[in-house]
Copies of this chain bind each other. A is one copy, B any other.
């Protein structure tokens, strides 16, 4: 090693060492066609030897691309869902040579749109990834279109033709979960809905309704509570349900955080789980294995869905025309200790 830290090698150094022009090096680096195998080998050898890495700033300046994709997400108390998306997106971006920049926003207080606009003008991105509920928040789509930013959404809504949409059948998985609870003998099954602005909330609720109907159980209004996907709302919904004259023997919440809140309230009242009441959630987030008892829940293949979303987003950035259809993803019911057979009163 020389005494002075050698400054980073540039495309010129590589070209010189390989005995070609910089354009040829550029072609090799960017996997463009029209390079002879032999030339390519020479160039690659030079790149390795020098440890050359393209300068992102120069590349961005010249190509008008930033090689950056943004992840805009609702900043929740419980980070589990976003964490899975984040990790998966991070690793996929790394393999595709992109950077990921994060933008947490709050949709509930109406600041999201302006926040995103500011964010977009401040940091250059080539596209954005929208995990739920960003994918179905009104206004965001329009804003991104205005800004000329392609996006990939993780959402059940697939109306928009030209937009990358990755989804999983929430309605069906909710149907499956509810059916499972019914097979345990439960008939009075409470349901805690998710935030009304989230598409998943409705899908999950409809799955519940359909399962009850298909088993000949009447959907009872008093057993249905509004929640907002957070722990506290699960807690207060449970409070309502447990105050009922004839209380439910099982409660399904539209996500794990609310289900954890339900468990909390049930514990507060000294009821035994699952002997006196069964509880189930959605998403198979980390918290579902940490509660007592561990939660029965539904697992989405979030990591795979995210991988595909990122890949398709990059495809769309590089070749806006060809849109391969996304594969279908399916959920699975994960049975744990929070659900059990109904105690038939004698």
Contacts and interface: CB of A to CB of B under 8 A. Distances in A.
Interface in A43-58: 51, 53, 55-58
B99 A100 contact: no
B267 A56 contact: no
B292 A264 contact: yes
B260 A53 contact: no
Interface in A93-135: 94, 99-102, 104, 121-124
A334 interface: no
Interface stretch (A75-83, A190-198, A314-322): A75-83
A267 B292 contact: yes
- How many copies of this kind of chain does the complex include? 2
Interface string A287-318: 10111100000000000000000000000000
Interface in A147-196: 148
A57 B125 CA distance: 11
Which of A51, A60, A79, A148 has the most CB atoms of chain B within a 10 A radius of its CB? A79
Contacts of A86: 102
Given A124-B55, A292-B263, A292-B264, A79 B75 contact: no
A78 B292 contact: no
A123 B53 CA distance: 9
A66 interface: yes
Interface string A51-93: 1010111111100001010000001011110010011001000
A101 B99 contact: yes
A292 B55 CA distance: 52
A53 B122 contact: yes
A56 B66 CA distance: 9
Nearest to A292: B267
Given A56-B66, A104-B90, A290 B292 contact: no
Nearest to A7: B64
A5 interface: yes
Contacts of A267: 292
A282 interface: no
A192 to B, nearest CB: 16
Which of A53, A94, A102, A289 has the most CB atoms of chain B within a 10 A radius of its CB? A102
A286 interface: yes
A208 interface: no
A77 B286 contact: yes
A205 interface: no
A264 B291 CA distance: 8
Contacts of A263: 292
Given A53-B122, A56-B57, A83-B83, 16 more contacts: A5-B148, A56-B60, A56-B66, A57-B58, A57-B124, A75-B87, A78-B286, A90-B104, A99-B99, A99-B123, A100-B102, A101-B101, A102-B102, A231-B289, A264-B292, A287-B287
Interface of A: 5, 51, 53, 55-61, 66, 68, 75, 77-80, 83, 86-87, 90, 94, 99-102, 104, 121-124, 148, 231, 260, 263-264, 267, 286-287, 289-292
7 contacts: A53-B121, A79-B83, A86-B102, A94-B122, A99-B99, A231-B289, A287-B290
